[in-house]
Chain A
Amino acid sequence: MKRCTKCSIDYSELWNICLLCKLPLAKDNLITKVFSKPRSGANYIFPILEKTIDQSDVIFLYLDKDLKPMMCNRAIESITGYRREEIFKNNWLNLFFRSNPSRREIFKAVLNSCLNSIKSRAYEGSIIKKDGTECILSWRNTTVTDASGNIWGILCIAEDMTEYKDSVDNVTTCSERLRDIFANVKEYAVLTANLDHKITYYGIGAKELFKWQEDMTLKDISMLFVDSPEENLKEAIKKSVRSNNRFEQEAILKRANGGVFPAILTVNVLFDNDNRRSGYVYIIRDNSEEKRMAKQMVQNEKLAAMGQLSAGVAHEINNPLLVILGRLDMLAMEDEKLSPETERTLETIKNQAQRMRVIIDRLLLYSRKKAPQMEVLNINEVLKTIAPLVAYHPEFKKITWKEDLQEDTAEIKGEFNQLQEVFLNLALNACHAMPEGGALSISSSNTKDGYVEISVTDTGMGISKENINKLFVPFFTTKDNGTGLGLAICHTIIQSHHGTIGVESNLGKGTVFRVKLPINKKE
């Protein structure tokens, strides 16, 4: 019990300040000492309480044990559109649930359960407003009892949730849409995982990237990883997300078919509405193409630098060499007879000097800055000239020559002689790779991405892994008397034709060189 020290009105424990005097209420123990005549506060408190309740924008509906409304506030009018009298006079439940008797029975059951168990019961559902539209109400129904536990009735408090529901619906549609987008991204593999890093969801990107056939839901994410002994990727991810909420690294990942590829792997923590960790989102991008391009670029730069160096060296050696060869010529012009031994010596010097000349000529050819004299041509015309040229070489005798030149091969732009040199070189290399004989096939066709592809395939000894990367580097050769410039020259020529040259080889089975040249665009 509390009492106002000024007006002596009694209040219950609920109150803190006197509604009339606005003064703090005195506690129980003070009351007996100070006051002799307590006054009932009901007359003063009720109007204020009524006003407070009436002005609330939440429905206050007080029902008796028969669920008849004893009191309701103004909010019921503004929310449902019914006037208070209409609710009092009619069966309000029939009004609110007029088109849905089953829902009405459910709601009635909730209220009765309240009365029976003397517990609050919540209910959320739509009612029909007077204008026929629906509104969603969130009910909190509480049994009201006297001090000895006798039931007086039920206080129903209801809040209009219609707008909130609309926004929740929007959020749902929005998240459904996000899920759709997420599922359809093809460029990235997007996956979600639970806190144990088990896959909970993935889109088409992941399916295609990892070539999954079966459902991977709840499989452990670590099945994607190829772990090197010194690094356990899953542990690294766990550690990083624990401290930074995120992880990003280049990693080697595994497809369902066992193939591996380099990828950029990003992991972010997913948080729920209460800001608790609920899982992880993995975003994976295949970067093998980028890596290949970067490698190619480094290779091209290296070859260009070697080209410049070769040109410089060739020019420098050329002058002394011409003096040496010139002087040897001068000696030959002398009338004086030389001893056979001196002549032999001079012959050797001349042969060796001429060999140097050949190397220098090849070097200059390799490093030449001269742009090809481009004309529109069909590569098949070039390729048809190769067999007769190779036929002069003794190695050719043991070779079965196959030509598969597609008639519809598109026209390209290039210099006939330079391209002829490339394919002659490739064909001769192929012959050299098959000293015991074999099959050499040249084919041409159009690719889907706007190129003409020419492949030169042999069934020879193949090229080892450590050698394959050095093939186009000048002076690299595995032949006893090769200059190591043939493929370097091919590379330079194809590059100046805006094309690419690549090689695949199986040791002991054979090698295929693929040249791609851009199709001529008709203006």
Chain B
Amino acid sequence: MNGKLKILVVDDEPDALELFKDLFTKKGYTVECVPSGTDAISFIEGNEADAILLDIRMPVMDGIETLSKLKELKPDIPVVMLTAYGYDDNLINKALESGAAGYISKNLPLAQIVHTFQTLLSAIHRKK
């Protein structure tokens, strides 16, 4: 089932982006990567995705703003926020209010990141 899913990863840090690409590819996903909120919006206008992993803190257009625009364009695509800060409650709350499906701390070990992501997605699919 994983092989069929296409995910979009949005992060301004190129090495982090590449890491997630390798990780999720290894776990059987089709992975598309973009380095900014603006790029994420252009991508989603012309392409489909089954899920989006979105960094919460980015320069120019931040995660929350990108999230709102993505939700306007494709409200059905689940967006999971990536947070680097365990204590950024305010940003996380804002993201959840703006329609994020959930959030994952980048500080977790990779195995846990993948596991949390999969758990979140299957919960969403079960609801559907």
Overall SS of chain A's interface: helix
CB of B69 within 8 Å of the partner chain: no
Seen from chain B, the residues whose Cβ lies within 8 Å of a Cβ on chain A are: 13, 15-16, 19, 22-23, 26, 57, 84-87, 89, 106-107, 109-111
Q: Check A322/B89 contact, CB under 8 A, given A330-B22, A330-B110.
A: no
Closest-by-CB residue of B relative to A334 is: B26
With A329-B111, A330-B22, A330-B23 as contacts: A322 and B106 at CB distance below 8 Å: yes
In contact, B19 and A364 (Cβ under 8 angstroms): no
Report yes or no: A322 in contact with B109, Cβ–Cβ below 8 A: no
A361 touches B86 (CB 8 A): yes
A interface residues, Cβ below 8 angstroms from B: 315, 318-320, 322-323, 325-327, 329-330, 333, 357, 361, 364-365, 368, 370
A364:B111 contact, CB within 8 angstroms: no
Smallest CB gap from A326: residue in B: B19
Chain A residues with Cβ under 8 A from B15's Cβ?
320, 323
- A315 CA to B13 CA in the complex, in Å? 13
Best-buried of A322, A330, A333, A361 by chain B (most CB within 10 Å): A322
In the complex the two chains form, is A323's CB within 8 Å of B13's CB? yes
- Closest chain-B Cβ to A404's Cβ sits at a distance in Å of 35
* Contacting residues, chain B, for A370 (C-beta < 8 A): 87, 89
Query: Chain A contacts of B16 at CB under 8 A?
Result: 319, 322-323, 326
Report whether B19 and A368 are in contact in the complex, using a CB–CB cutoff of 8 Å: no
Do A319 and B13 form a contact, CB below 8 Å, given A330-B22, A330-B23, A368-B87? yes
A327-B19, A329-B110 known, 9 other contacts, Cβ within 8 Å? A315-B57, A319-B13, A320-B15, A323-B16, A323-B19, A329-B109, A330-B110, A333-B110, A370-B89
Q: Which residue, A315, A320, A325, A329, has most C-beta atoms of chain B within 10 A?
A: A329
Question: Which residues of B are found within 8 Å of A327, using beta-carbon distances?
Answer: 19
10 CB contacts below 8 A, A to B, read A315-B57, A315-B85, A318-B106, A322-B106, A326-B110, A327-B19, A330-B19, A330-B110, A357-B107, A361-B86
Least CB separation from A333: chain B residue: B26
User: B87–A319 contact, CB under 8 A?
Assistant: no
In the complex, chain A residues whose CB is within 8 Å of the CB of B84: 315, 318-319, 322
- Measured in the bound complex, the distance between the Cα atoms of B19 and A322 in whole Å is 10
Chain B residue at smallest Cβ distance from A354: B109
**How many whole Å from B120's CB to the nearest CB in chain A?**
19
Q: How far is the CA of A365 from the CA of B86 in the complex (A)?
A: 9
Closest Cβ neighbor of A311 among chain B residues: B85
A127 to nearest B CB, angstroms? Answer: 92
From B11, which residue of chain A is reached at the shortest CB distance?
A: A319
Structural contact, A318 and B111, CB atoms closer than 8 A: no
A384 to chain B, nearest CB (A): 27
Q: Which residue of A lies closest to B113 (CB)?
A: A326
A323 neighbours in B (Cβ, 8 Å):
13, 15-16, 19
Contacts of B109 in A (CB 8 A): 325, 329
Q: Inside 8 A of B107's CB, which chain A residues have their CB?
A: 318, 322, 357, 361
Give A314's nearest chain B residue, CB to CB: B85
In the complex, what residues of B have CB within 8 A of residue A320's CB?
Answer: 15
- CB A371 to nearest CB in B, in angstroms, measures 10
* A365–B13 touching, CB < 8 Å: no
- In the complex, what distance in Å separates the CA atom of A361 from the CA atom of B86? 8
A97 to B89, CA, bound (A): 98
Q: How far is the CA of A318 from the CA of B82 in the complex (A)?
A: 13
Q: A361–B87 Cα gap in the complex (Å)?
A: 9
Closest to B106 in A: A322
- Assembled-state Cα–Cα distance A6/B13 (Å): 124
B-side contacts of A330, CB under 8 Å = 19, 22-23, 26, 110
